A and B are shown apart, each in its own frame.
Chain A
Amino acid sequence: MIPYVLKTLWRHRTRTLLTLSGSAVAMFVYCFVGSVQEGLERLTSGDDANRTLVVFQENRFCPTTSRLPENYARRILDVSGVRQVIPIQVWTNNCRASLDIVVFNGADPTQIHKSRPIRLIEGTWEEFQERRDAAIVGDNVARRRGLQVGQQFTIGEISVHIAGVFQSKVPSEENLIYTNLPFLQNTRGLDATGLVTQHEVLLAEDADPDRVASEIDEMLRSGSVATKTRRKGAFQASTLSDLVDLISFAHWLGYACVGLVLSLVATTTLMSVQDRLKEYAVLQTIGFRPLATLRLVLMESTLLCFTGGILGTILAMSVLSFGGFALGAEGATIDFRPTIHLALSSLIVSIATGLLAGLAPAIQASTLKVVTALRDP
């Protein structure tokens, strides 16, 4: 009976196409909202978020306001459980929430190479290490800004030569641009010679992150600048706390999209069924069981939703793949990334929505009074 369902949908192609486009747009938004949520979850979970500490100046939030002595690195390294310390100077073009935030992290190229889970997909480490104004750019930023190896990239007072483009196992890292630490410290306007924004602390395997964090803060309490040390995930969640609230609210938008598809497809299917009650009566007279007509209607609504879901999901995954979108604030970024999990959940939701949307019309078609429906002109 699949040809019957397909031909029925084709018979009212304008209505079908409008419904398909509606459900495709809704599932597109669903995927987009979902990708932001997933990005936030990735930022606050996983090894990088839980086994790395960030030492920041106490009571400071924006990177431009945190100024820690660079030589704190040596003292932090003395704390038991600390494997490595990376002093990082952060510069961002926008401390407020932005969809096109550019974040520079100035650090020692050798340390970056050895400690960060990144892989150059273009360019060379040698050029990054040897050239003072060299930078390696995260794949997301490169795609968003159209940056290529060999180009000079200028933003504000900073002008860097792009020595490479990298991908990272930590998706949000692909929104960063790494430069040499001294280069960024001496950028006009920063005047941060000997100072850094934060120290990133990599822990030994058996170290307890919370214990190490409190020991670092305790030790540096007597220093020139007090610190606040947190797990990287907690630090980023705190940095993005305003956005986290917004994103938590935005998941309702995802549910609203599902509701939209539900009402759209339910209306279309109901109209379609009411136009064809006599047809269903004929089918039942021929010998189709009421349950078979119920299945026909459900198949129709599910096909509408699922096809719209596929279109919306493919579109969303493509835009997320090639758009390089990221939402950031105060130097931390949430990347929007297409994932298999997101695509599958979108498709499952569209199937479930299709079944639900077709339920009322399907019950109407299967419980109709055959004799009465046959009398309709």
Chain B
Amino acid sequence: MVIVELQRVTKSFRKGDEIITPLDDVSISIQEGEFVSLMGPSGTGKSTLLNLVSGIDRPDTGSIHVDGTEITKLTRAQLSDWRAANLGYIFQTHNLIPVLTAYENVELPTLLLKLSASERRRRVELALEAVGLNDRSNHYPRQLSGGQEQRVGIARAIVAHPKIVVADEPTGSLDFETSLQVQTLLQRLNKELNITMLLVTHDAKVASIAGRRLVLDRGKLLESTLGAER
């Protein structure tokens, strides 16, 4: 079943006098439970595509359907509700709220769902357990290592049981060892929880953990088979 479908999406923006078109008539379909990586050199529009799928940016033309909803037609408030229920977002720089503990950061998305306090607690504990950070739940972001912060970010992205998780260079700010741990974690979550994942990276090694690899080049999307060979 197709869960994400972009049809002839174009996005351009002005930079000084120049008009840049990072996405030019791009179409793509992602199946439910699929792990897709999107790679390409810096500035090729990988993050732009991710932001469009997340509904935090809008295309100039074309349509985006996620799980049957045409998100390009939703209002800003509707998009917020849609994200709360359907999307998990993993940032490159973790972007945890510094005044909240790991537990409270993970709990944030569940506050937007109609859940009982006990169900909320259960989900947060499960998410933290899934990323191996139950023992750090009362720690503040400043008390965590970079890798642990990213794992909290991942727990926050999966806690609401989203249909799709998008990750924007999730290992970009981590050292080699920690990066490997995070890659393994993402693979495990995709397989064990059957979460559809769209991963953006400029690193071919990181991209290769995905079942399907896409390459964005000069606004056009190309399919690569390297990921499948792995």
CA–CA, A113 to B112, complex, Å? 68
The reply on B120 being an interface residue by CB < 8 A is no
Complex interface: chain B residues within 8 A of A287 (CB): 80-81, 83-85, 87, 109, 112, 160
The answer to whether A282 and B109 have CB atoms under 8 Å apart is: no
Q: Which residues of A contact B87 (CB under 8 A)?
A: 287
Task: Report which of B54, B56, B83, B100 forms a contact with A4, defined as CB distance below 8 A.
Answer: B100
- Contact partner, A285, options B56, B98, B99, Cβ 8 Å: B56
Residues of A280-299 at the interface with B, using a CB-CB cut-off of 8 Å, are 282-292
Interface hit among B23-31, B89-97, B208-216: B89-97
Residue of A nearest to B156 (CB): A286
Q: Interface size of A by Cβ–Cβ distance < 8 Å?
A: 23
Q: Contacting chain B: which of A6-14, A117-125, A137-145, A240-248?
A: A6-14
Mark each residue of chain A from 270 to 287: 1 if its CB lies under 8 Å from any CB of chain B, else 0: 000000001100111111
1/0 per residue, CB under 8 A from A, across B99-127: the answer is 11000100011011000000000000000
Tell me, rounded to whole Å, the shortest Cβ–Cβ distance linking A369 to chain B. 9
**B56 A282 Cβ-Cβ under 8 A:** no
Interface centre among B56, B57, B109 (most CB of A within 10 A): B56
CA distance A371 to B112 in the complex (A): 21
Inter-chain contact A11/B84, CB cutoff 8 Å: no
A357-377 near B? 1/0 per residue, CB < 8 Å: 000000000000011001000
Say whether B187 faces chain A, with CB atoms less than 8 Å apart: no
Contacts of A10 in B (CB 8 A): 99
B51 beta carbon closer than 8 Å to chain A: yes
Name the prevailing secondary structure of the A interface residues.
helix
- Indicate if A146 sits at the interface (CB-CB under 8 A): no
Indicate the size class of the contact surface on chain B: 20 to 34
Please judge, given known A-B contacts A3-B104, A285-B89, whether A290 and B99 are in contact too, CB under 8 Å.
Answer: no
**B80 A279 Cβ-Cβ under 8 A:** no
- Compute how far the CA of A171 lies from the CA of B156 in the bound complex, rounded to whole angstroms: 62
Q: Tell me, in angstroms, the Cα distance from A291 to B98 when the chains sit together.
A: 22
- Say whether B77 faces chain A, with CB atoms less than 8 Å apart: yes
Q: Which residue of A lies closest to B153 (CB)?
A: A282
Assess whether B84 is in contact with A290, with CB atoms less than 8 Å apart. Answer: no
CA A288 – CA B81 in complex, angstroms? 7
B188 at the interface (CB under 8 A from A): no
Q: Which of A4, A278, A290 contacts B76 (CB 8 A)?
A: A290
| Docked-complex contact A284 and B95, CB < 8 angstroms | no
By a CB distance below 8 angstroms, the chain B residues around A288 are 80, 84, 112
Q: Does residue A1 face the partner (Cβ distance < 8 Å to B)?
A: yes
Q: Within the assembled complex, what's the spacing in Å between the Cα atoms of A11 and B142?
A: 13
- In Å, the complex CA distance between A1 and B57 comes to 26
- Which of B56, B80, B98, B156 is the one whose CB lies under 8 Å from A289? B80
Please, how many angstroms separate the alpha-carbon atoms of A282 and B91 in the complex? Answer: 9
Nearest CB on A from B55, distance (A): 9
Contact of A286 among B76, B100, B108 (CB under 8 A): B108
1/0 contact string of A165-205 vs chain B (CB within 8 Å): 00000000000000000000000000000000000000000
**Min CB–CB distance A137 → chain B (angstroms):** 56
Please give, as numbers and ranges, the residues of chain A lying within 8 Å of B89 by CB-CB distance: 285-286
Identify which of B56, B85, B99, B108 contacts A371 (C-beta below 8 A): B56
* C-alpha spacing A283/B54, complex, angstroms: 13
> Once the chains bind, are B77 and A370 in contact (CB under 8 Å)?
no
In the bound complex, residues from chain B placing their C-beta under 8 Å from that of A285 are 54, 56, 83, 89
Q: In residues 283-323 of chain A, which contact B (Cβ within 8 Å)?
A: 283-292
A282 to B156 Cα, complex, angstroms: 12
Contact of A11 with B98 at beta-carbon distance under 8 Å, contacts A287-B83, A287-B84, A374-B91 already known:
yes
Across the interface, which residues of A come within 8 angstroms of B80, CB to CB? 284, 287-290, 292
For residue A290, which residues in chain B have a CB less than 8 angstroms away from its CB?
A: 76-77, 80
Interface string of B44-80 (1 = CB under 8 A from A): 0000000100101100000000000000000011001
CB distance from A12 to the nearest CB of B (A): 10
Chain A neighbourhood of B108, CB < 8 A: 283, 286
Chain A residues whose C-beta falls within 8 Å of the C-beta of B100 in the assembled complex: 3-4, 7
A-binding residues in B (CB < 8 A): 51, 54, 56-57, 76-77, 80-81, 83-85, 87, 89, 91, 95, 97-100, 104, 108-109, 111-112, 156, 160
21 contacts between A and B (CB under 8 A): A1-B111, A4-B100, A7-B99, A278-B95, A279-B97, A282-B91, A282-B97, A283-B97, A283-B108, A285-B56, A285-B83, A286-B108, A286-B109, A286-B156, A287-B85, A287-B87, A289-B76, A289-B80, A370-B57, A371-B51, A374-B95
Rank and list the top 9 A-B pairs by shortest CB-CB distance, nearest first.
A287-B84, A7-B99, A289-B80, A287-B83, A370-B56, A282-B95, A287-B112, A371-B57, A289-B77
Additional A-B contact list (5), CB under 8 Å, known A7-B100, A278-B95: A4-B97, A4-B99, A4-B104, A282-B95, A286-B89
